[in-house]
Amino acid sequence: MTEKEQKVLDLVHDKEFEMLCKIDDVCRKHNINYFVEAGSLIGAVRHGDLIPWDDDIDIYLKRKDYEKLLKYKEELEPYFIHVPNPDDNSFWDYTARVMDKSVLLKKNDKEAKFYKHIHCQYQFIDLFIMDNIKSGFRGKKMIMELKVLYVLATSKRYKLQYIPPKNPVAKFGVYVLCHLGMFIPLKWLFKRYDKVSRRFNKDKTCKDYVLSNGSATFISQSIYKKEWYKDKAELSIRGRKFYVPIGYAESLESYYGDYMELPPEEERIPTHIENFNDVSINGVKAIDLI
């Protein structure tokens, strides 16, 4: 990134941090446990801040805490929570997000309007749901069902967008499922996905969580030991403490390996900002604010 682009991203980070503080306020007020996780957790551990080149924040919540947060969503204003649902009449993924309408990360084009800006057009914080999963065959079956339901739903994307896997057999399967999904109502897909996600939540013998509303691309990797989340710790981001899992080191190592090592410089780029000239804050281009 250029120096100018980094300054734009710094403005985005300022707004994201404000969102995170608001979520933290509401959660602490109502005794809701959440966990700053994934890249955002790396930022807290490695930088004491958001990762300089990252452009979103990841929060994990156990199912009961996620549902409790939804009950108090009005207290998050001026932000709002978008939970993907059939009434969207489109599909990007099943991930719920806290969004800030005052910040646009992408240009207001036909694709943005197709998704009503809820496909990562507004600045957002991801809310990932942690559901129980069994080990062995039953857990693998659950993962496969979630993947299939995800790929079927991608038929509702703008211009039938999907990311094909490298394996030729899997690639063909994704192609077939994506086109087959065109004939399946979104209402059924969401209902089935929710049912599969909750399958083992009453099973007290489960030793792991899965991020059930995550992307099909990463869901197989998104399995975490429950012991890492049996309690919460706190780490500082910009001098303010936020909740993280008590086993945050084990969690990060399981997913990233050596999480303290910086990635190659060419990989230090934002994921959701495609063009820094498209970023605007309160209707003003961010590039004009620096």
When pLDDT is cut at 50, 70 and 90, the band that residue 170 belongs to is confident
Give the predicted TM-score (pTM) of the model. 0.93
Report the alpha-carbon distance of residue 133 to residue 115 in Å, rounded: 31
pLDDT tens, 65-122? 999 999 999 999 999 999 999 999 999 999 999 999 999 998 888 888 889 888 878 9
Instruction: Let me know if 285 is exposed, middle or buried by CB neighbors in 10 A (0-12, 13-18, 19+).
Output: middle
Q: What is the mean pLDDT of the chain?
A: 93
For residue 34, pLDDT beyond 90:
yes
End-to-end Cα spacing for the chain? 15
- CB-CB neighbours of 74 under 10 Å: 9
For residue 1, pLDDT beyond 90:
no
- The maximal CA–CA distance of the chain, rounded, in angstroms, is 55
For residue 159, pLDDT beyond 80:
no
When pLDDT is cut at 50, 70 and 90, the band that residue 173 belongs to is confident
When pLDDT is cut at 50, 70 and 90, the band that residue 176 belongs to is confident
Structure tokens at 36: 């700053």
Residue 149 region by backbone torsions, left for phi larger than 0, else alpha for psi between -120 and 50, else beta: alpha
Range of the domain at 59: 3-288
Number of domains in the chain: 1
